[in-house]
Amino acid sequence: MSTDHDLIRELSQMNDGTDTMAALRARLGVAADRDGVLDIAYRIIDSPVGPLLVAATERGLVRVAYAREDHDAVLQQLADKISPRILRAPTRLDAVTRELDEYFAGTRRTFDITLDWRLSAGFRSTVLHHLPEIGYGHTASYAAVAQLAGNPKAVRAVGTACATNPLPVVVPCHRVVRSDGAMGGYLGGVEAKRILLDLEDAA
C-alpha cells in the first residue's frame, strides 16, 4: 500500500499555493480520515465576520477561530493540547459549514452540531454551557450570566470565560453585554460582535 506515502512525497515536491497542491492536501486528508490517523480536521470558511477556522475531532466541533486569533497559532495550540495529527480535511466539517452558512444567512437560530468541549474546564466550562440559554436575538449581562452559572459574584470570571471561548458564534458569547447595555469586549473584535447581534436582530 503506497498511497499515503506517495501522497506525502508528492506534497513535499509541490510548490505551495497551486491547485494541484490543494487537491493533494484534500486527498491526504481523506486518506488520513479513512485510515483513522486524523485526530483533528480543519477548514477555513468565509463569513460576514471574516474567515473562520473550524476544527473538529471525532467527538465533534472543537474550535472556531477568528482571523485575528492567528489561525496558524490556533492550529499549533490544537496540536499541542490535543494531537499533532491535524490536517485540512474539509469533508469532516461539511455539516458544521452548512449550519454556519445557514446561521449567517439568517435561516438558522440554533446549532445542532455535536461539540467537543475539552478546551474549556471548570467554571469557564459551566459559563459556556449556559450561554445557549440566551435566546437568539436576545442579550444578557455578565452579571445575569454569572447568576445563571450559579455564582452571582463571578462577573469577571464570566468575562474571562467569554474572552477564552473556544467555540465563538456556535456558543454565543457575543450575546453577553455589559449591564449598562454597552457592547463590552469580544474575542472576534467589537465590530464582529456588532455584526452578529445586528444579524440576529434583523432576522
| Residues identified as active-site | 173
Q: Which three cell numbers stand for residue 163?
A: 474572552
Q: Is 52 exposed, middle or buried (0-12, 13-18, 19+ CB in 10 A)?
A: buried
Query: What one-letter code names the amino acid at 27?
Result: R
Strands 140-141 and 40-45: unpaired
CA distance 24 to 162: 37
CA distance 13 to 10: 5
Q: Which three cell numbers stand for residue 62?
A: 472543537
